[in-house]
Chains A and B, each alone.
Chain A
């Protein structure tokens, strides 16, 4: 992949002085906006809510590690190592959705736009519809990831040797998409045409859902832990390399037979990506703490945050795309209003 050019960082325009620094004071794993406040999900116990002025208030949501979190813009749902699934709303109010009697880990959660919630414990995936009906599905091995399809109540469950597509409200058996290896993260394309998994090995795997055709997306030096669709779903931006890897999904064949675009090369691994909700720009966080704003069209870069800290762990845009929130693994956070 593209090599690092010394001095590249110094030559790009900096907007670091526009960032409002925020001290979370505890490790952060994700950030989501609910309304105009940024919710920084901690590694354990708490969520720090930061308003536009940078004032921080913290709510305790779980009594142990927060293993997974998902947001639909209305709520954030989190699963913990204390066997609980909780939801946090815009006002900062907590609802306990699930309490596992055996305190088993909640390994994955997903949240549908219509309010349906999914979570997994070991090999079992559970779905609770917006109306409160609960159903479960057992897959052959521990669930690696969950994702709701953008349309209808359909859940993708990633596990060993493939992914399972399940309509919880239909009697038909779940559909199994096979591909050898361990599948961890899973994501539908916004147009509902493709399913992509992040594997244990440094690669993505994809299926075109119309005919289950395989798409192999490999070549990464490290495992892909962050995936983000560009506005309209033209590109899938991913972490895992020392540039942002952008797979083209605009055509009906997706990335089949095409090379990915490589943006924003640095001498550090991309750890998180977050595409702007409306425009063709993205934010990329790196393992050395750098954050860049990148224009997809020509790769133009703006420096949001300098290097020299813990890896960037979280990036999130508000719904309008006017504020970017970020944090490194140790809770060194900030807000950037554009």
Chain B
């Protein structure tokens, strides 16, 4: 008996490179007067300064599923801990999973895609990455884990902004945007961020995939709405507000868009084949699709090779029937993907 999405316990994944401030954010979440009770799955016991009988030590044990899919790794310890936590259903409102500084967020996310029991009771809410404003630029050069964590994020808490100058901050933000323009970015000191900005985000909820837009609101705060609608290459776009743009050599995002209807008999096999062949390099994918002869919006999202999708709702009257697809990944074959997408358009 599967529970409806709203009854499932939301799970927030908290990542961030060593020393970025994950524990600070965690302590902030737990100590704030929000009237909610969190079960917290941590790796380093004892760093949490809050008394809570629902703090569980984990071992980050990753194993490969025996399904022939080499990047299909899951966190076995999470499967076990979620099962144990369900004994105390009703004693907590949400779960936070803290990963180690060197962890890849993918196995955590994939656990929620593949495990039937975990899926029955809990839903992935968002991947929140804490980044150190002073050191992130260096880590992006020498630590692949740090880059993975930025690329994977739904929410980025750019912490320790008081330790850098304005130009340095602009630089690190531009580097983040070069990898992941879609995550919501919050600048903080000592992880001072509104809890509503990191919790209950519904980032993996198909029903809440409303739009796929780059998040530039923090980068330049005045109105530049027109940038969101004027072209395919918005993330290489020079805003003319002094905002630098970096193109990360290794990790990029790729946005596709068309206002012509897609052929589902071509698009779905193409997408499935793409994630089957490039899934190791595609960290996240998301799409809103307008299919030919279909009055419903179709939405999908994926983590590496795992995809889930569904008809979401009717297209509204007057709403442009536009398809948008985003991939974030490593060394993506951009031209091949663009060409493949073009071939799915009904001619």
Residues of A with Cβ closer than 8 Å to B?
A: 27, 29, 43-44, 64-67, 81-82, 102, 104-105, 107, 122-123, 141-142, 144, 160-161, 180-182, 184, 199-201, 222-223, 287-288, 310-311
A67 touches B87 (CB 8 A): yes
Given A29-B87, A81-B87, A311-B1: A222 touches B66 (CB 8 Å cut-off): no
Give the chain B neighbours of A288 by CB distance below 8 A.
1
A142 touches B87 (CB 8 A): no
Q: Looking at chain B's contact residues, is the secondary structure mostly helix, strand, loop, or mixed? A: mixed
A105 touches B87 (CB 8 A): no
A105 touches B76 (CB 8 A): no
Q: Looking at chain A's contact residues, is the secondary structure mostly helix, strand, loop, or mixed? A: loop
B80 touches A107 (CB 8 A): yes
Determine, out of B18-26, B56-64, B101-109, B215-223, the stretch whose residues face the partner at the interface. B56-64
Given A105-B56, A160-B76, A287-B1: A67 touches B63 (CB 8 Å cut-off): no
Give the chain A neighbours of B238 by CB distance below 8 A.
none
B88 touches A44 (CB 8 A): yes
Give the chain B neighbours of A144 by CB distance below 8 A.
80
Q: How far is the CA of A107 from the CA of B79 in the complex (A)?
A: 12
Can you name 25 A-B residue pairings with CB atoms under 8 Å? Answer: A43-B88, A44-B88, A44-B91, A64-B88, A65-B87, A66-B87, A81-B56, A81-B87, A104-B57, A105-B84, A142-B76, A142-B77, A160-B63, A160-B76, A181-B65, A182-B79, A200-B63, A200-B76, A201-B65, A201-B66, A223-B116, A287-B1, A288-B1, A310-B1, A311-B1
Q: Which among A43, A104, A122 is the interface contact of B87 at CB below 8 angstroms?
A: A43
Chain A residue nearest to B66 in the complex (CB): A181
A67-B84, A81-B84, A142-B59 given; name 20 further pairs at CB < 8 Å.
A27-B87, A29-B87, A44-B87, A44-B91, A66-B87, A81-B56, A81-B88, A105-B56, A122-B59, A142-B76, A180-B64, A180-B66, A181-B66, A182-B63, A182-B76, A200-B65, A200-B115, A201-B65, A288-B1, A311-B1
Interface size class of B (residues with CB under 8 A): 20 to 34
Q: Which among A64, A160, A201 is the interface contact of B67 at CB below 8 angstroms?
A: A201
Give the chain A neighbours of B116 by CB distance below 8 A.
222-223
Give the chain B neighbours of A223 by CB distance below 8 A.
116-117
Task: Write the B73-91 contact mask toward A (1 if CB under 8 angstroms, else 0).
Answer: 0101101110011111101
Nearest Cβ distance between residue A120 and chain B, in whole angstroms? Answer: 11
Give the chain A neighbours of B86 by CB distance below 8 A.
43
Q: Which among B61, B64, B85, B91 is the interface contact of A142 at CB below 8 angstroms?
A: B61
Chain B residue nearest to A289 in the complex (CB): B1
Q: How far is the CA of A81 from the CA of B53 in the complex (A)?
A: 9
* Interface residues in B87-127 (C-beta closer than 8 Å to A): 87-89, 91, 115-117
Give the chain B neighbours of A43 by CB distance below 8 A.
86-89
Q: Which among B53, B63, B88 is the interface contact of A181 at CB below 8 angstroms?
A: B63
Give the chain B neighbours of A287 by CB distance below 8 A.
1
B1 touches A64 (CB 8 A): no
